[in-house]
Amino acid sequence: MAWERSDSAPDGADMGDLDGHRWIDDDAAFGQIIEELCEVEAFGIDTEFHRERTYFPQLALIQLSWNDQKALVDPFAVDLAPFAAALQGPAVVVMHAASQDLEVLDLACGALPRELFDTQLAAGFVGHSLPSLAALVERFYGVHLPKGDRLTDWLRRPLGGDQRRYAASDVEYLLGLREKLTAQLEERGRLDWALAECEVMRARGRVRRQPEDAWLRIKEARTLRGETAAIARSVAAWREERAMELDQPVRFVFSDLAVVGVAQRKPKTLEDLKRIRGVDERHAKGKVGDAVLAAVEAGRGQTVPRPTGPTYDLDRRLRPAVSLVAAWVSQLSRDLEIETSLVATRADIEALLAGDPSARLLVGWRAELVGERIRRLVDGEAALAFDGAGNLVLEDRASD
């Protein structure tokens, strides 16, 4: 099956316009592709994965494009460790909306791209908002990508013709989109801005959840206070660690309802635990029941530290300025045809106004575009006014 071309797809499927992609399911063929990827200037990549029944995402397929070639790599049939050489080689790795794919690749082969170009991020700097890949391909090429079924089982083998056609289409246009978007970015003088954001995404890599923060993802737990909150924090941390150990979704280990119920009832015995709503019988006996009670005891008498985040307090006198500045930033972004969230979020504005030294608007292109202007506004050196057409204008104030 190695190097199988799409015209010999399983089940006699017709691969139509995407003929020519390779199906890779042995190490020798994969090794040859890795060697080729280490020699090219850029290659495109996408992944298909599932995480509905596991804690960590299950990689089900890797799609690659380079020069005029495409390949679908079966991760169940090859050793993925050598692929790190391609990711960390000289080529620019082109992806679309890469954050989850980066996590998957880091887990699969312990590596992140040396240099990333994210077509979704790049599009946000040249008037395309943050589009889906299908929308971007249609905009630039007038092509409608095959529609995928969000319930497709990528773990089954063999993959059907429609699945493979859809998977190959996800990398078909990535390299061309990079060229087109780079040209538009250079024309507007924003290539460095986009590349800087791609680097931020790349460097962020895999998001590693801290078990002690897991309780904050439970809506009902965030309203708890005092010892009750501390117990919720302890029980949720146990659940997170247990889910990682078993590679199961946290809800399979212990429900949100059970975490909150245990925190509120503070059981001391297995019999107490059994009577709590949301606690299954299997959770109230043996090692699991003992572990839950131990987590309760660990939280008993404790207080919860403040959640990780900004440590500043925004001056009450400046709070009205946040909405006004946000409106101006939104208008400026529309005028410049840049996705507003890429320029500044409300949290960015609050951090700047509060004097946070790590504020995103104090460095790089954002400082020049909006950060310095906001500082001048707050310091009284500039003012916002309506121009008579409903638009906000930042004007210099006459000095005394």
Q: Which of 25, 55, 74, 101 is catalytic?
A: 101
Catalytic status, residue 48: yes
- According to the model, what pLDDT value does residue 287 have? 94
Q: Which of 25, 46, 172, 348 is catalytic?
A: 46
- What is the overall mean pLDDT for the chain? 89
- According to the model, what pLDDT value does residue 2 have? 38
Confirm if 390 and 378 have CB atoms less than 8 A apart: no
Percent of the chain with pLDDT over 90: 75
Report pLDDT digits (tens) over 125-174: 999 999 999 999 999 999 999 877 667 899 999 999 999 999 999 999 99
At 311, the pLDDT band (50, 70, 90 cuts) reads low
Q: Which of 162, 166, 173, 356 is catalytic?
A: 166
- According to the model, what pLDDT value does residue 206 have? 74
Between 29-33, 86-90, 348-352, 382-386, the lowest mean confidence (pLDDT) is in 382-386
Report pLDDT digits (tens) over 55-112: 999 999 999 999 999 999 999 999 999 999 999 999 999 999 999 999 999 999 999 9
Q: Which of 25, 48, 197, 339 is catalytic?
A: 48
Half-sphere exposure in the Cβ direction for 301 (13 Å, CA): 2
- According to the model, what pLDDT value does residue 387 have? 77
Peptide bond before 158: cis, by omega within 30 degrees of 0? yes
What 3-state class would DSSP assign to 43? strand
- According to the model, what pLDDT value does residue 85 have? 98
For residue 309, pLDDT over 60 is answered with no
Q: Residue 304 and residue 90: Cα distance in Å, rounded?
A: 46
Confirm if 270 and 235 have CB atoms less than 8 A apart: no
- According to the model, what pLDDT value does residue 151 have? 75
Residues 6+ apart with CB under 8 A from 363: 371
Report pLDDT digits (tens) over 213-257: 999 999 999 899 999 999 999 999 999 999 999 999 999 999 999
Q: Residue 257 and residue 259: Cα distance in Å, rounded?
A: 6
Place of tokens 């015995």: 269
Residues 6+ apart with CB under 8 A from 96: 46, 118, 119, 120, 133, 136, 170, 174, 177
Catalytic status, residue 170: yes
- According to the model, what pLDDT value does residue 13 have? 34
For residue 115, pLDDT over 90 is answered with yes
Catalytic status, residue 166: yes
Residues 6+ apart with CB under 8 A from 17: none
Structure token pair of residue 215: 């309780």
What 3-state class would DSSP assign to 148? coil
Catalytic status, residue 312: no
Residues 6+ apart with CB under 8 A from 293: 267, 268, 269, 270, 273
Helix (H) or strand (E) holding 114: none
Q: Which of 103, 118, 162, 170 is catalytic?
A: 170
Cα dist from 382 to 105, 182, 324, 344, whole Å: 47, 35, 13, 19
Q: Where are the alpha helices (DSSP H) in the chain?
A: 27-37, 84-87, 99-109, 119-124, 133-141, 161-172, 174-188, 191-204, 226-246, 250-253, 256-265, 270-274, 286-299, 319-336, 340-343, 346-353, 364-366, 372-378
Mean pLDDT calculated for residue range 278-294: 93
At 8, the pLDDT band (50, 70, 90 cuts) reads very low
For residue 51, pLDDT over 60 is answered with yes
